[in-house]
Amino acid sequence: MDFANFLIQLLNSVQYGLLLFMLAAGLTLIFGIMGVVNLAHGSFYMLGAYLAWYFSSTLGSLTLAIVLGTVLAVVFGWLLEWLLFRHFYHRDHLDQVLLTFGLIYIFEEVRSIFWGDDVHAVQVPELLNWSIPLTDTLSYPIYRLVMSGICIVLAIGLYLLISKTRLGMKIRAGAFNRDMTESLGVNIRLIHGVVFALGVGLAAIAGMLASPIASVYPGMGSSVLIMCFVVVVIGGIGSVRGALVAALLVGLVDTFGKVLLPQIAGMAVYMLMAIVLLYKPEGLFKQ
Amino acid sequence: MTTRRLVLTRSAAVIGAASSGLLLPEIVRAQSDKVRVGFMLPYTGTFAQLGVAIENGFRMALNEQGGKLGGREVEFFKVDDESNPAKGIENATRLVQRDKVDVLVGTVHSGVQMGIHKVARDTGVLNLIPNAGVHIATRAQCAPNVFRTSFTNSQPTLALGKPMMERGHKKAVWITWNYAAGDEAFEGFEKSYTEAGGQIIKKLGLPFPNVEFQALLTEIAALKPDAVACFFAGGGAAKFLRDYEAAGLSKNIQLWGSGFLTEGVLDAAGDAANGVLTTMHYSDSLDTPRNKKFRLDYAKTFKLQPDVYAVQGYDTGLLLVKGANAVKGDMANKQALYAAMRGAEIDSPRGKWKMSPSHNPIQDIYLRKVENRENKVIGIAGKAVADPATGCRMA
């Protein structure tokens, strides 16, 4: 493998890793702060992708679709938390698994009723539909760079929000000791709503950004959900920093596995997980 | 007391069995005046259009006979198989046990086909496969009552190697989804290409139905092969064609594929598909009177353009008509029925084809090139291509 090829595969890895991070961050936040195991997280990714397809095909602009889709997804997340999830914070994990597993089926069915079961293509915006040539045969699509850029900005924003703001402080306090925080006058209900909506929003944005490069199809949330859980488990449950490191690691192993050892490509990520868990049973960054 | 209850329960059991048809002699069914045809096809989901096209084609073949099979009226039963392998056996059993069909037509998805195949082998019901190319159905597990009118997954790719070498493409990369159909398509490609003297420098794969090709396309660009050969179908195929072009590969590296790559996706792929070469047992643009007539009739009847799936459904109907006519509608005369179908020569829109000893078409495979969103036939890639039928021993 020469240098240019290596460089591009590295970019591919980072781009895939960042996408996974967007999903895993929400998943791990919702678990870490509210203690909810959310199997339906992949459905929010699917929701994002379908919204991107629907709005970009009716409005003719992916950028507009992403803005509109994000707003809708956040509102949807907020409603879902208020109507359903908040009643499950004190319940057993098994109840939560049952609830969210059921939600996967409901979301798939509703999607099928409204949008059908076809595979849809989303066009890359004309402005970003070109590549940077690196060698005579290798080039890198600019859309993927922009996409990675957006993910990095959002990751930094998330970090600042949680570690530097007053809201972030309340979120961290609530995760650490819920009753104590509440008795100090923090509206923990509101915090939960915000965190949940944030998680749904991040997953939906990931789906929308991925829609031009991964197509939009039924069941697209399930395969990505498995990868997300792998990331969360490797990174350490509840740790956003762990999710970032683990997502990049998974991106690297998956991409180079596909290219260097296609025979075992499907397994490479799980082997990574097994090795990490062997030495760090609670993940790389234990909370 | 005990014996009386025993007598009662046993009589009840006998009555139950009799009314459900278990004890009725075979002759009673045969005397019912209609031939019972069961469709087990996808009517919802990703493959819904394929199911409809197959049924349309099948009905068209029967309509050409005045809607009759061997002089008898036909009654249809339909089950949506949802392309769900988990329900394959249950759905097939429903048609065979409850609806008592004489012939089961199905299906598209290879996984579901394996369920149908088990039921066909267990019950001996006549099964006509209008699409699913899963190898084992006409190889190690071939059966006298199972006939396929479509293709095996490796049949189109068995004709791929020679034309690639003829164009001087000596080093190739293979890429597909890692699942049964992809593996089976590779088998045909590997055989034909290496026998023609070509060298497969790398075999790339990704999980089905993943469509994130970027890392693999980068690898292809770095390997600089003379050509790329692939197996993809449906939405994923359109995506692959577009990504292949976007990565700048279509300018330098000729793309080849099993014909499903460009079936039904040319609009979705747009200009990205231009110049792609594929091998397949049919093409819309086949310039024969037989195909033109078929296409015209089909378009008139259903207000739709026929595709390869409609042709396969049509041929399934033609095959059944041949069999039923030979036994004058007596579908219980299985020996004569199967003999007639085995020996049938089908005058299909795809060209004349014969049934192989393992009950799979021996057919010409066309070489096609995409031009202006159309699969143009530019030659015959393989004359009378037969599946190797490895391990088939007809009982």
| Residues of A whose CB is below 8 A from B249 | 137
| A79-89: average pLDDT | 94
Determine the Cα angle at B328 with ends B327 and B330, to 5°.
65
The pLDDT confidence band at residue A23, using thresholds 50, 70 and 90, is very high
The most distant pair of C-alpha atoms in chain A lies apart, rounded to whole Å, by 65
- The CA distances from residue A134 to A4, A139, A146, in Å, are 7, 5, 17
Q: Which residue of B has its CA nearest to A9?
A: B215
Kindly determine whether residue A120 and residue B235, on different chains, have CB atoms separated by under 8 Å. Answer: yes
* pLDDT at position B1 over 80: no
Looking at residue B64, what is its pLDDT?
Answer: 95
Q: Does B275 touch chain A (CB under 8 A)?
A: no
Kindly determine whether residue A258 and residue B206, on different chains, have CB atoms separated by under 8 Å. Answer: yes
Of how many residues is chain B composed?
Answer: 395
| Residues of A whose CB is below 8 A from B44 | 117
The pLDDT confidence band at residue A140, using thresholds 50, 70 and 90, is confident
Kindly determine whether residue B222 and residue A138, on different chains, have CB atoms separated by under 8 Å. Answer: yes
Q: Does B19 touch chain A (CB under 8 A)?
A: no
Yes or no: say if A217 and B210 are a contact pair by the CB < 8 Å rule. no
Q: What is the dihedral of CA B132, B135, B140, B143, to 10 degrees?
A: 20
Yes or no: say if A272 and A254 are a contact pair by the CB < 8 Å rule. no
| Closest among B234, B230, B255 to B307, alpha carbons compared | B234
* pLDDT at position A175 over 50: yes
Give per-residue pLDDT as tens, B106-136.
Answer: 999 999 999 999 999 999 999 999 999 999 9
| Residues of A whose CB is below 8 A from B46 | 117-119, 217-218
Q: Which residue of B has its CA nearest to A122?
A: B239
Burial class of residue B235, CB neighbours in 10 A (0-12, 13-18, 19+): buried
Q: Does B268 touch chain A (CB under 8 A)?
A: yes
C-alpha distance from A223 to closest chain B C-alpha (Å): 9
Q: Which residue of A has its CA nearest to B269?
A: A121
Kindly determine whether residue B219 and residue A141, on different chains, have CB atoms separated by under 8 Å. Answer: no
Looking at residue B25, what is its pLDDT?
Answer: 47
**Half-sphere exposure at residue B284, Cβ-oriented, CA atoms within 13 angstroms:** 20
Q: Which of residues 45-74 of B touch A (CB under 8 A)?
A: 45-46, 48
Kindly determine whether residue A266 and residue B209, on different chains, have CB atoms separated by under 8 Å. Answer: no
* CATH class for the domain made up of B155-280: alpha beta
Yes or no: say if A204 and A44 are a contact pair by the CB < 8 Å rule. yes
Give per-residue pLDDT as tens, A181-209.
Answer: 889 988 989 999 999 999 999 999 999 99
Give per-residue pLDDT as tens, B243-265.
Answer: 999 888 999 999 999 999 998 88
Q: Does B199 touch chain A (CB under 8 A)?
A: no
The pLDDT confidence band at residue A287, using thresholds 50, 70 and 90, is low
Chain B interface, mutation test: which of A252, A259, A263, A269, most B Cβ atoms within 10 Å?
A: A259
Looking at residue A120, what is its pLDDT?
Answer: 84
| Closest among A287, A206, A229 to A27, alpha carbons compared | A229
C-alpha distance from B105 to closest chain A C-alpha (Å): 24
* pLDDT at position B311 over 70: yes
CA–CA gap between residue B241 and residue B239 (Å, rounded):
5
Least confident of A134-148, B125-139, B149-163, B297-311: A134-148
Looking at residue B15, what is its pLDDT?
Answer: 55
| Residues of A whose CB is below 8 A from B210 | 223
Kindly determine whether residue A119 and residue B234, on different chains, have CB atoms separated by under 8 Å. Answer: yes
Kindly determine whether residue A266 and residue B212, on different chains, have CB atoms separated by under 8 Å. Answer: no
Yes or no: say if B100 and B60 are a contact pair by the CB < 8 Å rule. no
C-alpha distance from A255 to closest chain B C-alpha (Å): 6
3 state SS of A132:
strand
CA–CA gap between residue B112 and residue B116 (Å, rounded):
7
Looking at residue A215, what is its pLDDT?
Answer: 81
Characterize the bridge pairing of strands A131-133 and A139-141: antiparallel
Instruction: Report phi then psi at B149, rounded to 5.
Output: -110, 10
Characterize the bridge pairing of strands B146-148 and B126-129: parallel
The pLDDT confidence band at residue B27, using thresholds 50, 70 and 90, is very low
Neighbouring C-beta atoms of residue B265, cutoff 10 Å: 24
- Give this complex's ipTM: 0.84
| B202-219: average pLDDT | 89
| Closest among B386, B387, B368 to B377, alpha carbons compared | B368
CA–CA gap between residue A69 and residue B166 (Å, rounded):
51
| B217-235: average pLDDT | 93
Sign, Cα dihedral of A67, B245, B215, A145: negative
Give per-residue pLDDT as tens, A214-248.
Answer: 888 888 898 899 999 999 999 998 889 999 999 99
| Helices A3-34 and A166-176, axial angle in degrees (round to 10) | 70
The pLDDT confidence band at residue B6, using thresholds 50, 70 and 90, is low
CA–CA gap between residue A169 and residue B270 (Å, rounded):
52
| Closest among A165, A168, A169, A170 to A186, alpha carbons compared | A170
The pLDDT confidence band at residue B233, using thresholds 50, 70 and 90, is confident
Kindly determine whether residue B46 and residue A144, on different chains, have CB atoms separated by under 8 Å. Answer: no
Looking at residue B13, what is its pLDDT?
Answer: 58
Chain A interface, mutation test: which of B44, B212, B250, most A Cβ atoms within 10 Å?
A: B212
* pLDDT at position B16 over 60: no
Question: Taking the domains of chain A in order of start, what are their residue ranges?
Answer: 11-125+141-219
Looking at residue A136, what is its pLDDT?
Answer: 76
* Residue keyed to tokens 């199967």: B338
Fold entry, domain B35-151+286-362? Rossmann fold (3.40.50)
| Residues of B whose CB is below 8 A from A217 | 46, 209, 211, 235
C-alpha distance from A106 to closest chain B C-alpha (Å): 16
| B143-153: average pLDDT | 97
Q: What is the mean pLDDT of chain B?
A: 91
Yes or no: say if B23 and B279 are a contact pair by the CB < 8 Å rule. no
Q: What percent of chain B has pLDDT over 90?
A: 80
C-alpha distance from B220 to closest chain A C-alpha (Å): 9
Kindly determine whether residue B221 and residue A137, on different chains, have CB atoms separated by under 8 Å. Answer: yes
Yes or no: say if B369 and B275 are a contact pair by the CB < 8 Å rule. yes
Q: Does B308 touch chain A (CB under 8 A)?
A: no
Question: Taking the domains of chain B in order of start, what are their residue ranges?
Answer: 35-151+286-362, 155-280
Burial class of residue B115, CB neighbours in 10 A (0-12, 13-18, 19+): buried
| Residues of B whose CB is below 8 A from A252 | none
Q: Which residue of A has its CA nearest to B223?
A: A1
The most distant pair of C-alpha atoms in chain B lies apart, rounded to whole Å, by 89
The yes-or-no answer to whether B35-151+286-362 and B155-280 have a common fold is yes
Q: Which residue of A has its CA nearest to B212?
A: A214
Instruction: Give every CB contact of residue B160 below 8 A, 6+ residues apart in sequence.
Output: B188, B189, B192, B193, B229, B256, B257, B258, B279, B381
Kindly determine whether residue B48 and residue A1, on different chains, have CB atoms separated by under 8 Å. Answer: no
Kindly determine whether residue B247 and residue A139, on different chains, have CB atoms separated by under 8 Å. Answer: yes
CA A117 to chain CA centroid, nearest Å: 23
The pLDDT confidence band at residue B21, using thresholds 50, 70 and 90, is very low
The pLDDT confidence band at residue A135, using thresholds 50, 70 and 90, is confident
Yes or no: say if A262 and B203 are a contact pair by the CB < 8 Å rule. yes
3-state SS string over chain B?
A: CHHHHHHHHHHHHHHHHHHCCCCCCHHHHHHCCEEEEEEEECCCCCCHHHHHHHHHHHHHHHHCCCCCECCEEEEEEEEECCCCHHHHHHHHHHHHHHCCCCEEECCCCHHHHHHHHHHHHHHCCEEEECCCCCHHHHCCCCCCCEEECCCCCCHHHHCCHHHHHHCCCCEEEEEEECCHHHHHHHHHHHHHHHHCCCEEEEEEEECCCCCCCHHHHHHHHHHCCCEEEEECCHHHHHHHHHHHHHCCCCCCCEEEEEHHHHCCCHHHHHHHHCCCEEEECCCCCCCCHHHHHHHHHHHHHHCCCCCHHHHHHHHHHHHHHHHHHHCCCCCCCHHHHHHHHHCCEEEECCEEEEECCCCCEEEEEEEEEEECCEEEEEEEEEEEECCCCCCCCCC
Q: Which residue of A has its CA nearest to B202?
A: A262
